Structure 1
Amino acid sequence: MPLIGYARVSTDDQTPLPQSEALQAAGCGEIHEEHASGGNRARPVLARVLERVRKGDTLVVVRIDRLARSLSHLLEVIERLEAKGAFFRSLQDPIDTASPQGKFTLQVLGAAAEFERALIRERTKAGLVSARTKGRIGGNPGLRARDPAALRKVRLARQDGYLDRLNATAAEWVPHVRRLRPDMPWEDVLRLINAPLPPDRRWSQSRLLRAVKAYVANGFLPDTVLPRAPRSDTDDRLPALVAAIKGADPDITLQAICDRLEAMRERTPRGRSTWQPSSVKMLLERAQKLGLL
């Protein structure tokens, strides 16, 4: 079971070396270091680590606060790992999601987080009712006065919230964008992303482009993914699609590629809707000759 270490310090004058040494002693084969505030959820190194994690991997930290400063962020990261079949371990805390005891601890933390959210909602409602009975208007007075500093704070909070939501879905689209753009048109990239997703979670092209631009602006993706795709020979399109599916999952079977192409409603080279493994094998061989694999 591959162990991937993550070490974080808040400022440039601090060193992550003690954490890295502890992670190495724990058996981590690769260790990623980052200088960033724990309150900032949009951390480039952490985002790349979560993107690269594969089924069976375990993300390891020395202490929980090196990964997350809030319970909600911790649970969000662990949910992303579990969605990919990966695990989480903290060396100095009783959390190891690969063990029954660690899972139980996580369930307790989740229940505590939900209870905390419920208390906050109730306190907020009670505060607004109390303010109204005393003739005061609830809410932020700076926003009501259109104060620039207050407006800027709200914009930043909304941006952070948007990035948090994107981080929760990054595994669905970032690897495809990083690997296929700008060589493949957005339309085909979008269809590859949507093929394995249920209808209620599929992306529109405008939503995907907005997400990609946000990740580029925050340094999570290179700006080289944005330019228009070059024109390509129409005979090369199907080999490129099949190569992209194979590249995302090298162990995928020919029949599974057929199923994926049918989910994308992609027609066969002869215009039929039903794909056969022999057709996929032929396209993979052509993709190999074209240097697409």
Structure 2
Amino acid sequence: MKIGYVRVSTVEQNEGRQLKKMNEVKVDKIYIEKISAKDIKGRTQLITMLNEVIEGDTIYVHDFSRLARSTKDLLYITEILAQKKVALISFKENIDTSTATGKLMLTMIGAINEFERTNLLERQKEGISLAKELGKYKGRKPIPFPDNWENIYIKWKNKEIPASFAMTNLNLKKSTFYKLAKEWERK
């Protein structure tokens, strides 16, 4: 069976380019995800696909970065596929993992992709640091205290209400609630 795996990082991104290629090779089934590939966690379609493929199947991806961002994850996924005797073909890299050369190239390309991603993140940090020095980067805007903060905070601090009740009434996430509580205590 020919199986396609299509992934984009965000809901705003378009998977059309990848789907076009899948239609060209006439895949039988397509798994589509709109989620980051920084790790395997939360990628339900990928996990479902890995559980459902059987010996003799071939998985098609536009490029290996759609499957995994780290060499470790890419090798982990391809090891699962190898154990199941499932081939993996990447259109962009023109690699078929059912061959020895394909396996070697997969490892090298995975390492290069991870290197590029790491460099991108380092450049991003450097850019933010420089922008901060120049006073152009202010970071995230501070979250204001809700209108009824003081009243609910005092009740929570005096153990009259649990934190979960306070968070619900203030419509705050746990991390935001405790961040604001620390900030309030410093005042």
Whether the aligned pair in 2 keeps the contact of 1:94 and 1:105 (CA below 8 Å) is no
1:86 aligns with 2:86: yes
> Whole-Å Cα distance in 1 between the matches of residues 107 and 9 of structure 2?
29
The Cα of 1:108 is off from its aligned counterpart by: 4.9
Q: Which residue in 2 is equivalent to 1:20?
A: 19
The structure richer in helix per residue is 1
Amino acid at match of 1:5: G
Secondary structure of 2:56's match? coil
> Whole-Å Cα distance in 2 between the matches of residues 44 and 107 of structure 1?
24
Distance 1:109 1:19, change over 3 A: closer
Q: Which residue in 1 is equivalent to 2:58?
A: 58
Q: Which residue in 2 is equivalent to 1:249?
A: none
Where structure 1 has 5 or more consecutive residues not aligned to the other structure, the ranges are 117-148, 150-293
Where structure 2 has 5 or more consecutive residues not aligned to the other structure, the ranges are 116-174, 176-187
Mapping 1:231-246, distance limit 5 Å = none
Whether the aligned pair in 2 keeps the contact of 1:7 and 1:62 (CA below 8 Å) is yes
Query: Cα RMSD over matched residues?
Result: 2.3
The Cα of 1:41 is off from its aligned counterpart by: 1.2
Number of residue pairs the alignment of both structures matches: 113
Distance 1:58 1:67, change over 3 A: same
> Whole-Å Cα distance in 1 between the matches of residues 106 and 4 of structure 2?
20
> Whole-Å Cα distance in 2 between the matches of residues 65 and 105 of structure 1?
14
Mapping 1:190-201, distance limit 5 Å = none
Q: Which residue in 1 is equivalent to 2:128?
A: none
Whether the aligned pair in 2 keeps the contact of 1:10 and 1:38 (CA below 8 Å) is yes
Distance 1:9 1:26, change over 3 A: same
Amino acid at match of 2:9: S
The Cα of 1:26 is off from its aligned counterpart by: 2.0
Mapping 1:55-204, distance limit 5 Å = 55-106=55-106, 108=108
Whether the aligned pair in 2 keeps the contact of 1:63 and 1:91 (CA below 8 Å) is yes
Secondary structure of 2:4's match? strand
> Whole-Å Cα distance in 2 between the matches of residues 26 and 54 of structure 1?
19
The Cα of 1:52 is off from its aligned counterpart by: 0.3
Secondary structure of 1:23's match? helix
Q: Which residue in 2 is equivalent to 1:4?
A: 3
Which structure has the higher relative contact order (CA within 8 Å, separation 6+)? Answer: 2
Whether the aligned pair in 2 keeps the contact of 1:9 and 1:36 (CA below 8 Å) is yes
The Cα of 1:13 is off from its aligned counterpart by: 1.5
Using the size of structure 2 for normalisation, the TM-score is: 0.55
Whether the aligned pair in 2 keeps the contact of 1:7 and 1:66 (CA below 8 Å) is yes
Amino acid at match of 1:23: M
The Cα of 1:107 is off from its aligned counterpart by: 5.5
- Report percent identity of matched pairs: 35
Q: Which residue in 2 is equivalent to 1:280?
A: none
Q: Which residue in 1 is equivalent to 2:39?
A: 40
